[in-house]
Amino acid sequence: MKIRVLAFARVREVLGAPESELALAPSARISDAWGALLARAPALAELRASTRVARNGRIVADDCALQEGDELALLPPSGGG
Amino acid sequence: MLLIVRDPIDVEAVSESVRSPGYGGVVTFVGLVRERADDGRGVDGLSYEAHAAMAVERFQRIADGLRECYGQLEVSIVHREGELRVGEVAVAVAVAAPHRREAFAACADAIDELKRDVPIWKKEHYRDGSERWRENAP
């Protein structure tokens, strides 16, 4: 299945693009998406612990299951205001 | 008015947006780009980026929380994204309430909450040419 990945701030810089696509196995979970992203950009490893993931706008845990067409947003610690 | 915008913020319009005959006071907080970072380094400008849809949803949740706490009030939150120079408005928060006490308290809470956890990111660009992502304290 295909999912869309939105990356922000440091994570965007490490991934090299604000938006990208991942092709994952049909039963994939958030942790599998991380695996694919780390394969693409190994330097993400040091940001992973501080980066939360939102699936379709909701923060989710690593074992949350994914569905075709999901939007994953990679959210490093925020700095608004 | 709960928005992430690319164009300069019209503070007067934000303040105006919360007014109505039932409210006796409006408190508006305006956050500006400062010329010095917390460590004293000279700042040229900031760039902000946001997950706009999630950020606006958080703004809504902040507004709902304020009403639970302080009763009836009107809240507007507008945050810039993109490249900002020193002196530009990064964020404007306006709260209208029946009386000043609630308006002051709710406006302070709103900006504190915004800094705590809204998906907006800030990079400081320093005068010496370097740059750094700045995170708010959790």
pLDDT tens track for B67-98: 999 999 999 999 999 999 999 999 999 999 99
Task: With H, G, I as helix, E, B as strand and everything else as coil, classify residue B108.
Answer: helix
> Strand A71-75 relative to strand B2-5: parallel, antiparallel, unpaired?
unpaired
Question: Can you tell me the ipTM of this complex?
Answer: 0.92
Contact: A80, B111; criterion CB under 8 Å: no
Spans of chain B, pLDDT less than 50: none
Q: Alpha-carbon distance B106 to A29, whole Å?
A: 40
CB < 8 Å to A75, chain B = 51, 119
Say whether residue A49 is in contact with chain B using an 8 A CB cutoff.
Answer: no
Cross-chain CB nearest to B54 (options A73, A76, A77):
A73
What is the structure's pLDDT at B96?
98
Q: pTM of the prediction?
A: 0.94
pLDDT, tens only, A12-51: 999 999 999 999 999 999 999 999 999 999 999 999 999 9
Q: Any long-range contacts for A55-59 (C-beta under 8 Å, 24+ apart)?
A: A55/A30, A57/B53, A57/B54, A57/B57
CA distance A56 to chain B (A): 9
pLDDT given at position B18: 98
Query: Is residue A7 scored above 90 in pLDDT?
Result: yes
Tell me the residues of chain A between 7 and 46 that have a Cβ less than 8 Å away from chain B.
8-10, 12
Is residue A75 pLDDT above 80, yes or no? Answer: yes
| Cβ–Cβ gap A8/B111 under 8 Å | no
Whether residue A60 is predicted with pLDDT greater than 90 in this model: the reply is yes
Q: How high is the pLDDT of residue B137?
A: 81
Number of cross-chain residue pairs from A and B with Cβ atoms under 8 Å apart: 65
The encoded tokens of residue A61 equal: 């845990």
pLDDT at B64: 98
